[in-house]
Amino acid sequence: AGVSNLGDWFGPQRTITCYLLLLFPCLIAPVATQSLEERCNRILRNMEASLTARDRVGIQDFVLLDAYTSESAFLDNLRKRFHENLIYVGASCAACSLKFNETSHYALADNVFRTMLSEFNNHFILISGESGAGKTEASKKILQFYAVSCPSTKLLNNVRDRLLLSNPVLEAFGNAKTLKNDNSSRFGKYMDIQFDHRGGAVGGHILSYLLEKSRVVHQNHGERNFHIFYQLVEGGEEDLLRWLGLERNCKNYRYLVQGDCAKVSSINDKSDWKTVQKALSVIDFSESDTEHLFGIIASVLHLGNLKFEADARGYATIKNNQETHWLLGIPNQVLQQGLTHRKIEAKTEEVLSPFSVEHAVYARDALAKAIYGRTFNWLVNKINESLVNQSESSSTKMVVGLLDIYGFEVFSVNSFEQFCINYCNEKLQQLFIQLTLKSEQEEYELEGIEWEPVPYFNNKIICDLVEEKFRGIISLLDEECLRPGEATDLTFLEKMEEKIGGHPHFVTHKLADKNTRKTLERGDFRLLHYAGEVTYCVVGFLDKNNDLLYRSGKEVMQHSKNAIIKHCFPSSEPDNKKRPETVVTQFKNSLVGLTEILTSKEPWYVRCIKPNESKQPAKFDDVLVRHQVKYLGLMEHLRVRRAGFAYRRKYEIFLQRYKALCPDTWPNWKGTPAEGVRCLIKHLGYKTDEYKLGRTKIFIRHPRTLFATEDAFQVCKHHNSSRVFVQTATKIENCWRGLMARKERERRAWAVKVIKKFIKGFMTRNQPACIDNSEYLAYVRQNYLTRLKENLPKSVLDMDSWLTPPPILKEVNELFMFLKNALAMTVLSMFKGKKENYPLSVCRPFVDTRIALEDINLKVLQTIQHEHLKYGVPVVKYDRNGFRPRLRQLIFTQEAAYLVEETKIKQRIDFTSLKGVSVSNLSDNFLILHVTCDDIKQKGDLVLQCDFLYEALTNLSFIADKQSCVKVVQGSVRFDIQPGREGFVDFKSGQESMVYRAKNGHLMVVSVDRKSNS
């Protein structure tokens, strides 16, 4: 079952916590037409109904687990749901599913949105889980839901598009392929979506956390650099690559090949490049911004290809100078000096100290990381500028925040980045438990129930170990980075052993017992996090925490002509006399700010769990899922929720479901819901320690009490349903039989009345119309017209096939005869006495058409059938130049005449452009169609020969409504070949019929003289 609004699990504020674990395809989408309370109650009723199948499909609400402290019971319940494809389960304030599911995200987003509008407060959705569990996809789907469901105006649509398209841009610059995930976010992201009082998205703001800059210069085997590098090389246009000095081969760039997997089957870099380009244009990046941005990306690749060699004195020099030409328009000499020398202040003067090759490589990589890191920050700020709220009417703003943050990470080798990420997860776990406890306490207080202290693991001891002033790991790391003298990673380890060596959650190789020491290297330390043990290698901690960029490197960047680089490395930037904050301190401060943001909003949670590492369907990896359940803190959350009462429901809902169990409350309770519940539980025999009655809800302590009540309800329901079914069936049968009998009586009375009227009308049918025969005569008229409709004449000139009307329709018969005569006279007026062979055609009956539909090419038929075909006849068409005869079809529609050659329409003559038709007075079958021809590209008049001349011309005159357009001429007919060119057809009598081109260039038509023959 799906989860819509789970607020009644937590108290009157409804949104205090909603927690979502993602398993597989969800079953229920949010119903937009229902109110918040209606959808909430429907979900709660469905949850009680699902208890009946708990042995087979598990329990939907984890809080109702009997063995709620057992990880095995928790996993067993997850496995049951997973194998039944019921991927959406809850932890009371929570819903759970394994792996990614769209509909469940939409349901959660819908609840957040509706609650925000109803309560006018701010919310955030925390999305977490390990790499590859679906966090990034979850945030995108939630964002897409808001984009589609929010009100739409031109301004709001602009904001919507920018919010949506910020994702592919940030993914390109901040995501990369790792061993666990082909699209892993290598930075944390918090996005505020701002809404006005009507629910329209009017703006947004993005905060980024701890970009993994070290990936720019180093990737582990099987991993890639950030997507944008590969997208530019693989998808960039040839002109762009030439301008940037790049080649379409990732293997040519050192920063792209260290992981040895430049190409990945699941990633389409060319397609993603097009998406990023489109997104940048929508987000309001100018063409200049885009050029400068890609220029920086290309420069990082060129920078990575710089090689150094030692000169005679052992100092570093650049080996391949050609690469420096492409580096951000920086003069070659300035760049070489900045990468191979360091400025040192000596009293009142500055001295250049040359680098060794090793130091030069370090300076190059540090500069590459600084360029990319600062450019990424510029990119986020640029996106934020485009998302600024520009709506003048939205004075009241509400916010929904989306936090897509890295999950707890445990690798074979864990370094500085994993330390920061896991510290972040410790802080979020601490916040999660605090908010859950707060929501529980608030609900108990509002319901007037005494709060009982909750036993749970408080990870404050671990947070203090990391962040405590002067004694925490962060303070010790900063102190070691800042102190004078030779500070190394190992001296940092020694200082930790000295200061925090006795802490129960900290151990090193030196401090460990004999068995533990076997699992630790000398440069390792181990922290016992809330999620389990993690061993960190101190190598690189000081360098990554310092993240130092030599002063000479900054000065080199200030010579760049690139506008973005000038912004990122301003000349006004203070020098290194005052040491900047370390990376871990900056990250710690940003987490403090993030915590303040989150605590000011109402929380909702999405916990993503992947069922297996191999991305296979229907495979449940117990070890992997157990690990994720542990580090996501689900068991701690469950302990907090089960510390008091496992189940709580509003009196109305509880009474509505279980009232059948008590005779006093069934079928309708007349008093208040609270009194009804008291009566019901008294009848059921609840013990006083099994429940508490609050102001609006009943609280049940143990799941077994609820299960017993539900089982009793099922027994009662089946017993009552059998008895009620028989009674209901009998009553329905009686009602149905009575209804059918009444209808039959009414039908017979009506039939008697109709038959009487019909007989009386028949008897008086020859009398003048009156009350007695009016309906009968109307029936006779209708019957005649119906028969006439089905037996109309095949041709307008058919004189003998009209049905004889009854005597009462004598005037109609006269009208039909007049119509026949009028049609006949039309044909007579056109040809009688004017054309020699007209008398011979009179005995030849007209037909509807001379060309059946199946004889017309399908392609032609599809082109003209919308104009309604009226008549078709085969003809011989004579070319305008040379008079060569060609077989054609002449087809008349409601609007035009078409000359057709097999599959092609050779000419279309609109009836409005038909000037006239010429025929000779002799016995030939020629006709010339004269058309309006103003354009030299238009075709001219048509010269045709038709064996059914009179039939074709009669149909043409009626269809085109041009009865006077046919002219009978003698001797010669002039016709237009095209504007400015004319031709002639000469007619004469002879001994035999002939058609040929005469010496004067005219078409000569010789016909047999019918008068002399007769």
Per-residue model confidence (pLDDT) at position 27: 28
Per-residue model confidence (pLDDT) at position 795: 56
**CA 81/CA 60 separation, integer angstroms:** 8
pLDDT surpassing 80 at residue 817: no
Are 701 and 631 in the same domain?
Answer: no
What's the half-sphere exposure (Cβ side, CA atoms, 13 Å) at 428?
A: 30
How many residues are recorded in the chain?
Answer: 1014
pLDDT surpassing 70 at residue 392: no
**Do 303 and 364 form a contact (C-beta atoms < 8 A)?**
yes
Confidence label for 455 from pLDDT (cuts 50, 70 and 90): low
Q: What is the DSSP pairing of strand 885-893 with strand 896-901? A: antiparallel
Per-residue model confidence (pLDDT) at position 666: 84
**CA 991/CA 209 separation, integer angstroms:** 105
Q: What is the DSSP pairing of strand 869-878 with strand 972-978? A: unpaired
131 is in an annotated binding site: yes
130 is in an annotated binding site: yes
Whole-angstrom CA distances from 610 to 96, 425, 657 are 12, 18, 36
The domain of 100 spans: 1-121+601-644
Are 792 and 849 in the same domain?
Answer: no
134 is in an annotated binding site: yes
Determine, yes or no, domain membership for 129. Answer: no
Most confident of 52-61, 314-323, 382-391, 543-552: 382-391
Of 736, 761, 786, which residue is a domain's last? 761
pLDDT surpassing 70 at residue 632: yes
Determine, yes or no, domain membership for 898. Answer: yes
**CA 928/CA 1002 separation, integer angstroms:** 14
407 is in an annotated binding site: no
Q: List beta partners, residue 185.
A: 175
Are 753 and 672 in the same domain?
Answer: yes
**CA 994/CA 551 separation, integer angstroms:** 105
Of 831, 856, 888, which residue is a domain's last? 831
Most confident of 78-92, 386-400, 485-499, 829-843: 485-499
**CA 111/CA 102 separation, integer angstroms:** 15
CATH of the domain at 850: 2.30.29.30
Whole-angstrom CA distances from 1 to 25, 50, 59, 274, 724 are 11, 8, 11, 39, 29
pLDDT surpassing 80 at residue 600: yes
Confidence label for 790 from pLDDT (cuts 50, 70 and 90): confident
CATH of the domain at 690: 3.30.70.1590
The arithmetic mean of pLDDT across residues 30-36, rounded, is 42
801 is in an annotated binding site: no
**Do 940 and 977 form a contact (C-beta atoms < 8 A)?**
yes
Are 628 and 662 in the same domain?
Answer: no
Paired tokens of 697: 């809800």
Determine, yes or no, domain membership for 108. Answer: yes
pLDDT surpassing 50 at residue 31: no
0.75 exceeded by pTM: no
pLDDT surpassing 80 at residue 291: yes
Per-residue model confidence (pLDDT) at position 156: 72
Paired tokens of 554: 């900054």
Are 517 and 658 in the same domain?
Answer: no
3-state secondary structure 388-441: CCCCCCCCCCEEEEEEECCCCCCCCCECHHHHHHHHHHHHHHHHHHHHHHHHHH
Determine, yes or no, domain membership for 299. Answer: no
**Do 926 and 1005 form a contact (C-beta atoms < 8 A)?**
yes
- Whole-number average pLDDT of the chain: 81
The arithmetic mean of pLDDT across residues 574-590, rounded, is 76
**Do 927 and 919 form a contact (C-beta atoms < 8 A)?**
yes
- At 664-708, the pLDDT tens digits run 888 788 888 888 888 888 888 888 878 888 888 888 777 777 777
- At 957-971, the pLDDT tens digits run 888 888 788 899 998
pLDDT surpassing 50 at residue 33: no
**CA 330/CA 554 separation, integer angstroms:** 12
Are 44 and 91 in the same domain?
Answer: yes
Paired tokens of 744: 């039959």
Tally of domains within the chain? 5
Nearest 10 degrees: CA dihedral of 887, 893, 896, 897?
20
What's the half-sphere exposure (Cβ side, CA atoms, 13 Å) at 602?
A: 25
Q: How many helices (H) and strands (E) does the chain have?
A: 33, 31
Are 756 and 881 in the same domain?
Answer: no
Pick the closest to residue 400 from 158, 752, 672, 119 (CA basis). Answer: 119
Determine, yes or no, domain membership for 94. Answer: yes
510 is in an annotated binding site: no
Mean pLDDT lowest among 434-438, 556-560, 766-770 = 434-438
Are 757 and 810 in the same domain?
Answer: no
Pick the closest to residue 109 from 205, 201, 38 (CA basis). Answer: 201
pLDDT surpassing 90 at residue 379: yes
Token pair 């080798």 is found at 413
DSSP 559: T
pLDDT surpassing 90 at residue 182: no
903 is in an annotated binding site: no
Pick the closest to residue 644 from 437, 446, 429 (CA basis). Answer: 437
Are 1008 and 889 in the same domain?
Answer: yes
Determine, yes or no, domain membership for 244. Answer: no
Per-residue model confidence (pLDDT) at position 393: 56
Give 3-state DSSP helix, strand, coil % of the chain, rounded to 5.
50, 20, 35
Confidence label for 111 from pLDDT (cuts 50, 70 and 90): confident
pLDDT surpassing 80 at residue 407: no
Are 632 and 659 in the same domain?
Answer: no
Radius of gyration of the chain (CA): 45
**CA 830/CA 171 separation, integer angstroms:** 81
Phi–psi pair at 215, nearest 5 degrees = -65, -25
Of 761, 776, 804, which residue is a domain's last? 761
- At 227-270, the pLDDT tens digits run 999 999 999 999 999 999 999 999 999 999 998 888 888 899 99
Paired tokens of 31: 């119903």
Are 981 and 915 in the same domain?
Answer: yes
**CA 675/CA 664 separation, integer angstroms:** 11
Per-residue model confidence (pLDDT) at position 376: 94
Token pair 């096939």 is found at 801
Determine, yes or no, domain membership for 289. Answer: no
Per-residue model confidence (pLDDT) at position 508: 93
- At 318-352, the pLDDT tens digits run 887 666 667 777 888 888 888 888 877 766 677 78
What's the half-sphere exposure (Cβ side, CA atoms, 13 Å) at 597?
A: 21
Are 756 and 768 in the same domain?
Answer: no
- At 937-989, the pLDDT tens digits run 778 899 999 999 888 988 888 888 887 888 999 989 999 888 878 899 999 99
- At 883-909, the pLDDT tens digits run 899 999 999 999 999 999 988 999 999
136 is in an annotated binding site: yes
Of 32 and 810, which is predicted with more confidence? 810
High-pLDDT (> 70) share of the chain, %: 83
Q: What residues have CB less than 8 Å from 688, skipping those under 6 apart?
A: none
Token pair 């309006």 is found at 932
**Do 376 and 211 form a contact (C-beta atoms < 8 A)?**
yes
**CA 291/CA 272 separation, integer angstroms:** 18
Determine, yes or no, domain membership for 238. Answer: no
pLDDT surpassing 90 at residue 771: no
**Do 24 and 97 form a contact (C-beta atoms < 8 A)?**
yes
